[in-house]
């Protein structure tokens, strides 16, 4: 599916993605290996797709925007909240030094672990648990990506940002959120609104309460 992958990269360019490292990560990562067989023929469309357990894999242009906004240099330790299919995790594996990723749904955790292993990503550590509390053992992180929308910015994640660290997190009601870029400067935390987005709900002790 290399041709389809190349077409996706061209689509991302047309949508304004300029970071060559991000575009290369998309060229190297086989999205069809992270979606169920029933939707595999749509793997390289710029569209979200269902991955089971009521979750989705985001459209590639959203992933690309996320990754470009973080201005990654390749040396970062990154925390990802919501492993999902593992696709974004593998994209990150081409862009940073180390990734720590948390998934709360056991079935997705197992599928993602297998897909990440198949992709050959060696710089990924996985945890099954509540992503809203972060992973203190390996903090601080240069970047944190939250792949679900919560009612507010989880305070434990702010505390686990390194000096100058950046976090992308969707905040707002369940139906629609605002993507926020949170940057830590010493005791000061700067928050900037980026764009309106729609993500699956962020459940956990510092997110939405599971019904």
29-35, Cβ contacts within 8 angstroms, sequence gap of 24 or more? 29/87, 29/90, 29/91, 29/94, 29/119, 30/1, 30/5, 30/119, 31/5, 31/57, 31/60, 31/87, 32/1, 33/115, 33/118, 33/119, 34/85, 34/86, 34/87, 34/90, 34/115, 35/85
Asked whether 96 and 122 are in contact (CB, 8 A), the reply is no
Alpha helix (H) residue ranges in the chain: 2-14, 20-28, 60-69, 87-93, 106-118, 155-159
List the catalytic residues. 58
* Three-state secondary structure call for residue 34: helix
Judge contact between 40 and 90, C-beta under 8 A: no
């Amino acid at each position: 599916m290399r041709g389809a992958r190349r077409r996706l990269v061209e689509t991302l360019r047309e949508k304004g993605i300029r970071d060559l490292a991000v575009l290369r990560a998309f060229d190297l990562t086989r999205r069809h290996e992270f979606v169920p067989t029933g939707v595999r023929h749509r793997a390289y469309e710029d569209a979200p797709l269902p991955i089971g357990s009521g979750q989705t894999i985001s459209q590639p242009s959203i992933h690309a925007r996320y990754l470009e906004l973080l201005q990654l240099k390749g040396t970062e330790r990154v925390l990802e909240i919501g492993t999902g299919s593992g696709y974004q995790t593998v994209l990150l594996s081409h862009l940073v030094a180390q990734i720590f990723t948390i998934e709360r749904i056991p079935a997705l955790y197992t599928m993602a672990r297998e897909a990440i292993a198949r992709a050959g990503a060696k710089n990924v550590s996985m945890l099954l648990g509540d992503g809203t509390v972060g992973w203190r053992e390996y903090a601080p992180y240069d970047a944190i990506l939250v792949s679900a929308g919560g009612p507010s910015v989880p305070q434990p994640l702010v505390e686990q940002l390194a000096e100058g660290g950046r976090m992308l997190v969707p905040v707002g009601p369940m139906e629609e959120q605002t993507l926020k870029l949170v940057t830590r400067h010493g005791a000061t935390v700067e928050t900037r609104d980026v764009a309106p987005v729609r993500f699956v709900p962020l459940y956990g002790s510092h997110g939405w309460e599971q019904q």
